[in-house]
Chains A and B, each alone.
Chain A
């Protein structure tokens, strides 16, 4: 992330400064409240200038989040947070760009973009709020819904295997992959700060219960499954991360994977700087010379 200003003695921005005055449409008890609160705190910790920060989303309950953050925001169309975020970040690299959305938005309709944003190592942080269900459309199965679960669209139980978004991100080429829980504020803020500070594509999967369509229990069930990574865990190793993928009985949070590789912008900027040499102040006239008969 760029445009991170040095922290003065008294922070210029408090978490509350990132809170817009738009009231969330989320149901009482929704896990996404925890996520947006963590985001305010993480942004304050990083002292991100609101006017140099853009939060981008697709469509879904969680995709309403940009409206609740006092920064530039773009609540786009279903599944397309990452293409929009890609354009913003590549066109204006100095902006801090955060993409957010739900599991249906990011893994079903937007799955292809997830692959490519990860592969490019695009310099953004992508926060996926995973509630294992389609909430806004009122309770249909999502790619993360466990097999066998009865939902509105799987009357006889979900016939499909589910995916682990972290496993996907790692195999797609994301260079920072973490799992958090919206009910664990302190850890979640730390993860967001780390993700937003990561150079390259940072993917944070936040288990964010849906009290309406997954029941009041989902919160308690998730909390009971929580584990942390062991001491001395080697987060630079894919092999070390694999045992923490596709967990069923437990839910391990923390940074599962982190490596440092050139980002998309590093590569683009390197090429661009080189390409511009000798073409400073390029005019149309100069470009048109290409079309002169060369002899």
Chain B
């Protein structure tokens, strides 16, 4: 029986072309209309060092990478051991490895792969013979994988042609020879791996993008025309993409000297009337804390993307964690309203970013998008038709409002008409000091209370209009999972498997953290017997934050652990099963 869902992992050293190979296969899959998720992992080295690329291709909808791989390609066992626990083959996986690897195969132990099919492949020899250089071994591998596992061979061949078509004469021919050599090698193997052969019908091609790219495109879509940023892993791709596309769109972009300058600059840009954004990661958001307060106090619409990584301090720069929630929700001195959104996947990065601009413009508040590395840097297929989102622009004061202009006029929603420089009659001098309706500094406790109330009132509007969340699974369930950000993917995958096994499980995934969709959540809590928090941070930041908002039911379980490894499908399943077995045990005792 062929399969409709295949996960491959490739591991090698810098120069082995593992990442290129993964990218070519992902593009080939997308061209054929498959659903693809690709994740790369690297060692801490700037160049060279070990790298891995895991690619899931499916004819069915998929939500996450999946834990165990069907096909493992190892160019070098020494590199494989560096990804211990991160790349795990299935028990009956097909493992292709370099026949000439200095590590004797007798020393390779993969307990999980007890029934695996082991295939030694002379990758280097095949590449050298066919192309004259061992550098082409990834192309040889593409040929082998295409042949053995039905990975769109025609499309992969096109990918090779595209990759090398513009190189100097002979390069393409050599690589095509390598590709064919790989296919011929696979044909001659005579090993039956048909259970791993991908079977699908070609459909409309899909886009391939990362969460960070989706955020960048969404910024352009939302009308962002000024961006200021400081490089930081894992969010720099937003800066990179916009440095090319923002000027083309007629916008302007600068790289600032630090993150507080970045947020300062976009506060300036937005004050001047231009939709503005910055992107960063946790260490940058820490620096931005003072400017967040300014944006909130001066009521300047701003959009801040935080692609979370492991923290605190420098932490785990290249790996995902969901530990900036406290900073995003509570960071800054004083009482300061802000909005926090949490996209759940690549496509949602697009929507969250447009929502962020819309909410910022509607409420004149800083809006933080809490993405994470697992969402931001994973590359996956997206349907273009889904990338549509209404854009809301800033309301500028009308003639009546300008006649007696008050920048911070009290209004029912707390949102006051915001004039921009260039507007006659709209002149005001804003500040980070407490101020009265006309923006003049005012330090009376009465005014401070009044203006604090005005600023916080804006959150009510957002809570009412943007109760953003996803409810997965049945309306009523025994176990109700609460998770956020990139964890939605593995939870959704695990729920499919659990539901297939008859387990009654649902999930509540907030897409907005501040203000929290409280009403929906209260209803959700009533729909499940046991509430289970799954968080990729050590202290359970979402759980503790929610305790400040709602009364959580007794017996609520919290599974929180540090990041560095994304939430896995197996982990979700085992957590749910453990909760169910405990609940079962409790019932027995009571009976």
Could you tell me which A residues sit within 8 Å of B by CB distance?
A: 20, 22, 50-56, 59, 64, 66-67, 69-77, 80, 82-92, 94-95, 112-113, 115-116, 264, 268, 271-272, 275-276, 279, 282, 284, 287-288, 291-295
Decide if B161 touches A295 in the complex (CB within 8 Å).
yes
Chain B residues within 8 Å of A51, by CB: 421-427
B432 at interface (Cβ–Cβ under 8 A)? yes
Decide if A71 touches B387 in the complex (CB within 8 Å).
no
Chain A residues within 8 Å of B421, by CB: 51-54, 72, 88, 92, 95
Decide if A75 touches B430 in the complex (CB within 8 Å).
yes
Chain A residues within 8 Å of B248, by CB: 275-276, 279, 282
Mark out the residues of chain B between 237 and 296 whose CB falls within 8 Å of any chain A CB in the assembled complex.
245, 247-250, 252, 254, 256-258, 260-274, 276, 290-291, 293-294
Chain B residues within 8 Å of A83, by CB: 256, 260-265, 268
Contact of B387 among A54, A116, A288 (CB under 8 A): A288
Q: Which of A50, A51, A70, A279 has the most CB of B within 10 A?
A: A51
CB distance from B165 to the nearest CB of A (A): 9
Chain B residues within 8 Å of A54, by CB: 272, 421
When chains A and B are docked, how far (Å) is the Cα of A88 from the Cα of B433? 20
Contact of B264 among A72, A75, A76, A95 (CB under 8 A): A76
Which chain B residue has the least Cβ–Cβ distance from A20? B429
Decide if A88 touches B261 in the complex (CB within 8 Å).
no
B159 at interface (Cβ–Cβ under 8 A)? yes
CB distance from B229 to the nearest CB of A (A): 12
CB distance from B231 to the nearest CB of A (A): 15
B31 at interface (Cβ–Cβ under 8 A)? yes
Which chain B residue has the least Cβ–Cβ distance from A269? B252
When chains A and B are docked, how far (Å) is the Cα of A66 from the Cα of B430? 9
CB distance from A92 to the nearest CB of B (A): 4
CB distance from B38 to the nearest CB of A (A): 13
Which chain B residue has the least Cβ–Cβ distance from A282? B249
When chains A and B are docked, how far (Å) is the Cα of A115 from the Cα of B162? 46
Mark out the residues of chain B between 415 and 444 whose CB falls within 8 Å of any chain A CB in the assembled complex.
421-433, 440-441
Decide if A295 touches B159 in the complex (CB within 8 Å).
yes
When chains A and B are docked, how far (Å) is the Cα of A288 from the Cα of B268? 29
Chain B residues within 8 Å of A80, by CB: 260-261, 264, 290-291, 294
Chain A residues within 8 Å of B205, by CB: 292-293
B19 at interface (Cβ–Cβ under 8 A)? no
Q: Which of B257, B258, B268, B387 has the most CB of A within 10 A?
A: B268
Decide if B207 touches A288 in the complex (CB within 8 Å).
yes
With A88-B271, A90-B252, A279-B248 already in contact, the answer to whether A72 and B429 are too (CB < 8 A) is: yes
When chains A and B are docked, how far (Å) is the Cα of A22 from the Cα of B430? 13
Contact of A90 among B208, B263, B265, B426 (CB under 8 A): B265
8 smallest CB-CB distances across A and B, nearest first, come from A87-B268, A83-B264, A73-B429, A91-B269, A87-B265, A75-B431, A275-B247, A295-B162
- Give me 10 A-to-B residue pairs in the complex whose CB atoms sit less than 8 angstroms apart, sorted by A's number: A56-B268, A67-B440, A73-B428, A88-B421, A92-B421, A276-B250, A287-B220, A291-B207, A291-B208, A295-B161
With A271-B247, A272-B250, A284-B221 already in contact, the answer to whether A75 and B432 are too (CB < 8 A) is: yes
Chain A residues within 8 Å of B290, by CB: 77, 80
Which chain A residue has the least Cβ–Cβ distance from B30? A293
Decide if A77 touches B432 in the complex (CB within 8 Å).
yes
CB distance from A58 to the nearest CB of B (A): 9
CB distance from A282 to the nearest CB of B (A): 5
Decide if A74 touches B252 in the complex (CB within 8 Å).
no
Contact of B225 among A22, A55, A59, A91 (CB under 8 A): A91
Which chain A residue has the least Cβ–Cβ distance from B207? A291
Contact of A77 among B228, B271, B294 (CB under 8 A): B294
When chains A and B are docked, how far (Å) is the Cα of A211 from the Cα of B455? 38
